[in-house]
Amino acid sequence: MKRFLVLVVLLLAGCGVRPTEIVRAGPAPILPAGGEGAVLYFLSGEQLQPASRATGQPLAPAQAVELLLGGPTDAERSAGLVTKLPFTSGRVTLSGTTLTVPIPVLGLPEEAVQQLVCTAVRALAPTEQHLGLFLSGRTGPLGYRECSAMT
């Protein structure tokens, strides 16, 4: 009987874990069936927001970033998504863990840096956490950055 009472007391007392509020991180992006698309990171207010783009085929990280540099579509803009990146076209490359973009990266706002890094990292390893890469552009290397949306 003593064991039963001890068990009941322990169950009622819990294990010291206190309840917390729900942490809202925004909606998860949903890719089209078959995963044939890309997740691009834009901004909603000052928050990173993933947006799915159907492309008809899976994209490499450099291709996803090239789409990102083209800016949001009309539908994405209508949904309130914006970018802090300059609209441009040009060749993006990923060599090892270094992403090179055709824009100056030194002096970019951190939100713009995060758009680049998160888009590339998501395309590189969509299920991994705590990933980053080295970022370089026309003005030289910026250094290693992690995607804040995936940490």
- Give the residue, 1 or 82, on which the prediction is more confident: 82
Residue 24 confidence (pLDDT): 43
Q: How far is CA 130 from the centre of its chain?
A: 11
Residue keyed to tokens 């083209």: 70
Residue 58 confidence (pLDDT): 85
- Nearest to 100, CA basis, from 124, 140, 135, 69: 135
Distance CA 112, CA 29 (A): 19
Backbone φ and ψ of 105, nearest 5°: -100, -25
Q: Is residue 52 packed enough to be buried (19+ CB in 10 Å), middle (13-18) or exposed (0-12)? A: middle
Chain segment 18-74, per-residue pLDDT in tens: 554 544 444 444 444 445 789 999 999 989 999 999 998 889 999 999 999 999 999
Residue 7 confidence (pLDDT): 47
Q: How far is CA 53 from the centre of its chain?
A: 14
- Give the residue, 141 or 12, on which the prediction is more confident: 141
Q: Per-residue pLDDT averaged across 9-17, rounded?
A: 49
- Nearest to 116, CA basis, from 130, 133, 128, 129: 133
Q: Which residues pair with 137 in a beta bridge?
A: 140
